[in-house]
Structure 1
Amino acid sequence: MRVPARLLPLTAATAASALLTGCFSSVGTEEAGSEGKRIRVAHMLPPRSGLSPLSDDAFKLSRWSTAETLVKLNAVGDAQPALATEWEQSGKSWTFTIRDGVTFHDGTKLTGEAVVNSLTVAATASPKPRILDGVELTAKADGNTVTVTTGTEDPLVPQRLSSPQLSILAAKAYKGKTVNPVGAGTGPFELTKVNGTSSASLDRYDGYWGGKAKAPGIDVKFVPDGTARAAALRTGEADIVEAIPVSQAAVLDQDLITEVPMPRTNTLYLNTEKGVFKDVSLRAAAREAIDAKSIVEGVYEGRADVAEGLLGPALPWAAELRSTVKRAAAGKPSGQTITIGTYSDRAELPEVAATLQQQLQKAGFKVKLDVREYANIESDALAGEFDAFILSRATVLDSGDPAAYLYSDFGSDGSFNLSQFADKTVDAALDKASETATGDARRKAVIEAEAAVLGTDAAVPMLHERVIQGDAAGVVDAAHDPRERELVTADTYVK
């Protein structure tokens, strides 16, 4: 049963609209005119690392079609040509042929050396991009070919190189302590201006190797407030709006929103290293106390799916391969105090936290909440400052393959190990999944690794989210990408 939609009070709608008034005026060098309108985009999360491709900001660069990778993925996650036209494997090495006739936005040519430069910066960064967790990678150029070598034989190299965090940028991007993507990509749109965490502008790059984009440019506004983003669609202030909150979706014109199951799981990570949840029986007690169905119906208004595991309906093979997981018996909480952290950038999460607080307190815990913007809470979460943390986590975002996500989050040396988790059995299962060739055998190994993680109750998957994207009536061919890699493409335009 769907909970009745919560209507937006007039005063809130007025205030949200006021936040956006004038913020989408064209600020690029090419104004709307006879060639069409600039596309106005309202994003949820502001940049957290100056749009460095080595961070999650890389996915903004990808969604704006300004930075590109050697490889891209098709709908089922298979590797397809992009800046590389073909590749072949020989043991631990993969040789990629670089596409001819490609120029960066600063006019310099795409070469093997430029590719090696970008990959080397990523491979030697500290911390490394998630997609390279546990991977030793070196690259060497020979004319128009690049040979990528890993420390051990890795069947997933092409999929790894599809990650936006391994985008190929011009040499100018790397002159300094940070990576600056302005004017350094190869895509159909050139990033021309970034205004901190408030806005960005892109202009069409007419020298694009794949053909001229249909829109003259993109004007981006970062709008963390979900009510304001929904108001931007309703009032016509934005053409494309990402992450419409479920509380707002029901009150919008349903013809303007698209809802797609996505590989994103809302998970409660439990701190296994210290505090209350070092005790596996109390982790099991927390897991048994959680009523995910009530969260889906009450908070998400039915626009989500109850989780049976870490991997959801966007990967249908997961449910087909999954079997019953053996778990520890639940202990009985006796008033232990726990602190749960989460962030306000995703509008539903504070409400999820409040619901969990009630459920866990009913089970016998005392629960405190710490809710901040993501940029202000991530470092504490990674440092293990909370007993538990609620995260909306993309499970195949980087490579199209969930093994990398599982390793990053649950490997002993994973770079996104919110549970502070280390388990030799889980590590062995993760290693097996990572080493198995792509196909049915790898999918089976991935599900075995998922079962190993779930058996420890280091994380409690609650629900799988759906993409709720808003496209104004005049928008043509905006991407609706479950992996959140594409949004505005060369074919997107506004009538």
Structure 2
Amino acid sequence: MHPSKLLPLGSLAAVSVLLLTGCFASGADSAGGDSNGERRIRLAMMQPPRSGLSPLSDDAFKLSRWSTAETLVTLDKDGDPRPALAAKWQRSDPRTWTFTVREGVTFHDGTALTAEAVARSLTRAATAAPKPRILDGVGLTAAAEGNTVRVTTTDADPLVPQRLSSPQLSILAAKAYQGKTVNPVGAGTGAFVLTKVNGTSSAALDRNEKYWGGRAKAPGIDVRFIPDGTARAAALRSGEADIVESIPVSQAPLLAENQITEVPMPRTNTLYLNTEKGAFKDPAIRAAARVAIDAKALVSGVYENRADVAEGLLGPALPWAKQRQGRTAATAPGKVNGATITIGTFTDRAELPEVAASLQQQLQKAGFKVKLDIREYANIEQDALAGKFDAFILSRATILDSGDPTAYLQSDFGSEGSFNIAQLSDPAVDQALRKASATPAGDARRAAILAAETAVLNSDAALPLLHERVVQGDAAHVVGSVKDPRERELISIATHIS
């Protein structure tokens, strides 16, 4: 533990007092009770809505975590598609998929789920400006045909079902699409009905008594958005919240062990090395940096052992990644000879400046002269993408929205990648990425992805450091909250207060 990270007890007490002023009071009583003796779930979330809870934005993940908005498809632990609002689907040609709409489903406003409703939601997403991230670069049309929806893409795409699992492609009732904005209040199909949104401060949901998937055990959810991590942890410690999203590493030791769960995230902290110019243009110097880095020291010293040492770019949140070969062609380390390098990173993730300081010490011991450039992400991203650093520390989501790592690998390591901070142009990597991209979903695609990972590791363009975990807080009386590495699920029909 780093005592310097913790607030003084007086400050913590002040935070707790602020939280104890009825912040979770709702239509039920302030203790989360209900007239039938059931208790509503009091949920503290990290990020307030950025786009009025529009499903076409990142706010969509809140809607899915509350089980209020649903998609045609969901994903299993391996990232393979499973039925949701679509009962089944088939691919008739490389560009065309047909999805059969589940029968007997109604929206929260009482209207029926139909193929026309599905096509309307998908069309609104596909024609939005900007498009939802999952459709970036993807041309997609949707047309209703009886009780089916025909989805056609401009190019062959083996990941259409996985794409349609993204919460940004949630299916909502017609009432949600009045005007230019998308309003999800009372318009979903899920186990809970979104009834009220109070700007960026709170939201309320009631049980959907007609949910097609069964009756939820909790009568409702009261949500508060609390960006300050110390305040969120205090809400759990004081009994003001039942479930708390994303407890900071520094606050976890202040909670009882039975109140926290560490969930591996598909997010890797990686040191990207500039392969185009500077000291790391030389593969032998990249190899010297690789052997100089002690990732275990980062995990223990910065993350207080609440992270996993990286064995590759893909971490334990993807169980099948254990089948990797790993690096198969390690370059021999060269002599550093006092090479001067500048490492960049950003302050938005509290641990990254500490990671940078630790790496500076480790690399200096290996003979490098190391400068640090640390700014807010908005002020440093452009320079990083332009290759103005010798190295850059990035905390990067590895499966993005489709549950498939191929897009991440292409954007970060393909010679035409839009996020190629390493400035990598490696024929072996490009060939492996093309194969992975063209391979149908399933075991063969996963094997091709791991082969692409090996090609990247062999280049030493990226040195994976650690895989982050998200620390979720649950009061002892919470039953059945979902521990989802993809952060798409949190409260299900089984979640309740005992």
Per the normalisation by structure 1, the TM-score is 0.86
CA contact (8 A) 2:326 2:453 kept: no
The answer to whether the 8 Å contact 2:387/2:423 transfers is no
1:369 aligns with one of 368, 374, 389: 374
- Secondary structure, aligned partner of 2:372: strand
- How far off its partner does 1:26 sit? 3.0
Separation (CA, whole Å) in 2 of partners of 1:173 and 1:89: 30
- The answer on whether the counterparts of 1:133 and 1:404 sit within 8 Å (CA) in structure 2 is no
Taking the aligned partners of 2:176 and 2:370, their CA distance within structure 1 comes to 50
Out of 21, 38, 41, the residue aligned to residue 39 of structure 1 is 41
Amino acid at match of 2:9: L
Structure 2 counterpart of 1:59: 61
- Give the alignment's Cα RMSD to 1 decimal: 3.3
Q: Is the alpha carbon distance of 1:179 and 1:287 closer, same or farther for their aligned partners in structure 2, counting shifts above 3 Å?
A: farther
Q: Who is 1:199 aligned against?
A: 202
Q: Does 1:148 align with 2:151?
A: yes
Distance 1:106 1:258, change over 3 A: same
Among candidates 91, 100, 103, match of residue 103 of structure 2: 100
Of the three residues 168, 171, 179, the one matched with 1:168 is 171
Give the conservation status (yes or no) of the 8 Å contact 2:343–2:356.
Answer: no
Question: Relative to structure 1, is the Cα distance of residues 51 and 284 closer, same or farther in structure 2, using a 3 angstrom cutoff?
Answer: farther
Paired AA for residue 83 in structure 1: L
Task: Indicate how the Cα distance of structure 1 residues 86 and 332 shifts in structure 2: closer, same or farther if over 3 A, else same.
Answer: farther
Q: Which moved more, 1:70-79 or 1:442-451?
A: 70-79
For 2:125, the aligned partner's letter is: A
Shift of 1:240: 0.4
**Quick one: which amino acid aligns to residue 87 of structure 1?**
W
CA 1:55 to 1:414, structure 2 compared with 1: closer, same or farther past 3 Å? farther
Matched ranges for 1:237-276 at <5 A: 237-270=240-273
After superposing the two structures, state which structure 1 stretch, 362-371 or 439-448, moved more.
362-371
| Residue 23 to residue 90, structure 1, CA distance change in 2 (3 Å) | farther
Residue 321 to residue 368, structure 1, CA distance change in 2 (3 Å): closer
Cα distance in 2 for residues equivalent to 1:149 and 1:283: 44
Question: Within 2, Cα distance between the matches of 1:332 and 1:28?
Answer: 68
- Given candidates 59, 71, 74, the residue that maps to 1:72 is 74
For the 8 Å contact 1:133–1:414, the answer to whether it is kept is: no
Q: Which residue of 2 aligns with 1:26?
A: 25
**8 Å Cα contact 1:398/1:404 also seen in 2:** no
Aligned length: 489
Tell me the amino acid that sits aligned with residue 13 of structure 1: L
Judged with a 3 Å threshold, the aligned counterparts in structure 2 of structure 1 residues 242 and 132 are, in CA distance, closer, same or farther, namely same
Offset, 1:478 = 0.9
**Is the counterpart of residue 460 in structure 1 residue 459 in structure 2?**
no
Call closer, same or farther: CA 1:15–1:383 in 2, change over 3 Å. Answer: farther
Bigger Cα Rg: 2
Distance 1:490 1:390, change over 3 A: farther
CA-CA distance at 1:243 after TM superposition = 1.8
For the Cα contact (< 8 Å) 2:279–2:285, is it kept in 1?
yes
Give the direction of change, closer, same or farther, for the CA distance of 1:381–1:317 in structure 2 (3 Å limit).
Answer: farther
Amino acid at match of 1:369: I
Distance 2:299 2:124 in 1: 42
- 1:325 Cα offset (Å): 4.3
- One-letter amino acid of the structure 2 residue matched with residue 70 of structure 1: L
Encode CA deviations 1:134-158: one digit per residue, 9 max, x unaligned.
Answer: 5332222112101112334433222
Please name the residue that 1:185 is paired with. Answer: 188
TM-score, normalising length: structure 2: 0.86
Q: Give the alignment of 1:48-447 within 5 angstroms.
A: 48-92=50-94, 93-270=96-273, 287-326=290-329, 334-344=339-349, 347-360=350-363, 363-371=368-376, 384=386, 387=389, 389-411=392-414, 425-447=428-450
Change (3 A) 1:382 1:447: same
The 2-side partners of 1:306 and 1:493 are apart by: 34
Judged with a 3 Å threshold, the aligned counterparts in structure 2 of structure 1 residues 419 and 202 are, in CA distance, closer, same or farther, namely: farther
- Assess if the C-alpha contact under 8 Å between 1:245 and 1:348 holds in 2: no
Structure 2 SS opposite 1:77: coil
The answer on whether the counterparts of 2:398 and 2:405 sit within 8 Å (CA) in structure 1 is yes
Structure-1 separation of matches of 2:222 and 2:65: 13
Report the alpha carbon displacement of residue 17 of structure 1 after superposing the two structures with TM. Answer: 1.8
Label 1:369 to 1:4 Cα distance change in 2 as closer, same or farther (>3 A). closer
Cα distance in structure 2, aligned partners of 1:395 and 1:383: 18
* One-letter amino acid of the structure 2 residue matched with residue 438 of structure 1: A
Q: Aligned with 1:187: secondary structure?
A: coil
Q: Retained in 2: the 8 A contact 1:284–1:457?
A: yes
Structure 1 stretches lacking a partner, 5+ long = none
Superposition deviation, residue 188 in structure 1: 1.5
Distance in 2, Cα, partners of 1:260 & 1:361: 33
- For 1:494, the equivalent position in structure 2 comes to 497
The question of whether the paired residues in 2 share the 8 Å contact of 1:134 and 1:414 is answered with no
Q: How far apart, CA to CA, are the structure 2 residues paired with 1:353 and 1:303?
A: 18
Query: Matched residues in 2 for 1:125 and 1:456: separation?
Result: 38
What CA deviation, in whole Å up to 9, does each residue of 1:433-485 have, x standing for no partner? 12212333212210121123334444332111223211112212111112211
